[in-house]
């Protein structure tokens, strides 16, 4: 994509840094942990369908956490589900990313006050990279969240940062 544009000057010679290549490869094939929790999952499915076509970002649903790179927490996280989510996240291979989708996963949403059974934000059990607001967010919002995550991956480095 943008990274590759106008870099082919002499036939088949292509120059980039290893880091760029790695990051480009990773951000272009963010495999998704396939699961949904509530109504946000419907929007996530809509994003996967032909109108929004999430696959053009290289996102392919995987039915096992061991093959997944990114987890969309799409919906209300109940306390009963929270321990399962934690376990699924622990089973994903690093580097792994989390997109929290919708108000419920972000902060408890409409259950913030009287939801005795709802976890008030999935970041209480697993680290979150991108929060997508909305109730539920439109598929475009989820796509923007994915692009934000891709930007984050693009800036990553294999070298340990000092200071």
| Minimum separation from the CB atom of position 120 to other proteins (A) | 5
| Other beta carbons less than 10 A from residue 30's beta carbon | 20
In whole angstroms, the minimum distance from the beta carbon of 113 to other proteins comes to: 7
**Sheet architecture: strand order including 70-74:** 61-62, 32-33, 70-74, 97-101, 130-132
CB within 8 Å of 131: residues ≥ 6 apart: 99, 100, 106, 145
Please count the residues of this chain forming the interface with other proteins, following the rule CB under 8 A.
Answer: 14
CA dist 78 and 88 (Å) reads 15
Q: Which is nearer to other proteins, 60 or 125 (CB)?
A: 125
Helical ranges in 54-118 per DSSP H:
79-91, 102-107
Contact track, other proteins, 106-145, x by CB under 8 A: -xx---xx--xx-xx---xx--------------------
Q: Does 82 bind other proteins (CB under 8 A)?
A: yes
User: Is-contact 61 69, C-beta < 8 A?
Assistant: no
Pick the binder of other proteins from 79, 93, 135, 147 (CB under 8 A).
Answer: 79
Convert residues 23-62 into a mask of x (bound to other proteins by CB under 8 A) and - (unbound): ----------------------------------------
Q: Residue 78 and residue 87: Cα distance in Å, rounded? A: 14
Residue with smaller CB distance to other proteins, 47 or 81: 81
Nearer to other proteins, 121 or 145 (CB): 121
What does the block give as tokens for 132? Answer: 């997508």
Q: Residues interacting with other proteins, by CB under 8 A? A: 79-80, 82-83, 107-108, 112-113, 116-117, 119-120, 124-125
């Amino acid at each position: 994509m943008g990274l590759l544009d106008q870099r082919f000057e002499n036939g088949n010679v292509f120059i980039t840094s290893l880091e760029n290549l790695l990051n480009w490869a990773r951000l272009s094939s963010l495999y998704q942990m396939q699961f949904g929790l509530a109504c946000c999952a419907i929007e996530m499915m809509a994003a996967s369908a032909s109108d929004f076509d999430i696959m053009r970002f290289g996102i392919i649903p995987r039915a096992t956490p061991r093959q997944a790179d990114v987890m969309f927490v799409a919906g209300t996280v109940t306390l009963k589900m929270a321990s399962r989510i934690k376990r699924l996240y622990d089973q994903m291979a690093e580097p792994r990313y989390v997109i929290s989708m919708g108000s419920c996963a972000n902060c408890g949403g409409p259950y913030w006050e009287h939801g005795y059974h709802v976890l008030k934000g999935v970041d209480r059990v697993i680290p979150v990279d991108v929060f997508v607001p909305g109730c539920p967010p439109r598929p475009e919002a989820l796509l923007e969240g994915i692009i934000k995550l891709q930007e984050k991956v693009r800036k990553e480095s294999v070298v340990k940062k000092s200071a």
